[in-house]
Amino acid sequence: MRVVLTGGCLCGAVRYRVDAELVDAGYCHCRQCQRSSGAPVLAWATIVQPGFVYTSGAPVVFHSSVAAQREHCAACGTQLVFRPRQAASAGGRATLDFTLASLDEPAALAPQYHIWTMSQIPWLAMGDSLSRHEDEGPDIPA
Ligand SMILES: [Zn+2]
Ligand SMILES: [Zn+2]
């Protein structure tokens, strides 16, 4: 499915536009998402690159692991992007994740699954019936 969306950070300094093929969307309960946001869970959409562009401002890059970097606004701290360094996911295609809650219309895309539930915080009660995976979940078909 092709999606055309816009979003940005809390202060408005960094803005982005997405015009890309959507891979999927889901909740991530990993400790890196928790630590990097200060929130119990992050909701991400994955798209095929190219297709995500910054239209205003420039983010700060944090290399959160050997495999990926996270991009956030230097002024207000909003986390916007998770960018894998290699196109290992989604059948070899280059992909990029952006935070659903940073969209101008955050209801536009809904999460389809939970991953890394092994580190879900016990007091976080989510009553949905989406599939749950203790780790990164099943491979995404190409
Ligand atoms: Zn900002
Ligand atoms: Zn995560």
55-66: per-residue pLDDT in tens? Answer: 999 999 999 888
How far does residue 28's CA lie from ligand 2's centre (Å)? 4
How far does residue 64's CA lie from ligand 1's centre (Å)? 20
Looking at residue 39, its pLDDT comes to 98
pLDDT band at residue 142 under the 50/70/90 scheme: very low
Rounded to whole angstroms, how far apart are CA atoms 120 and 135? 11
Looking at residue 92, its pLDDT comes to 72
The contacts of residue 42 (CB under 8 Å, 6+ apart) are 27, 28, 33, 34, 79, 99, 101
pLDDT surpasses 60 at 88: no
pTM of the model as a whole: 0.93
DSSP symbol at 140: P
Ligand positioned closest to the Cα atom of 82: 2
The CATH superfamily holding the domain 2-132 is glutathione-dependent formaldehyde- activating enzyme (gfa) (3.90.1590.10)
How far does residue 94's CA lie from ligand 2's centre (Å)? 18
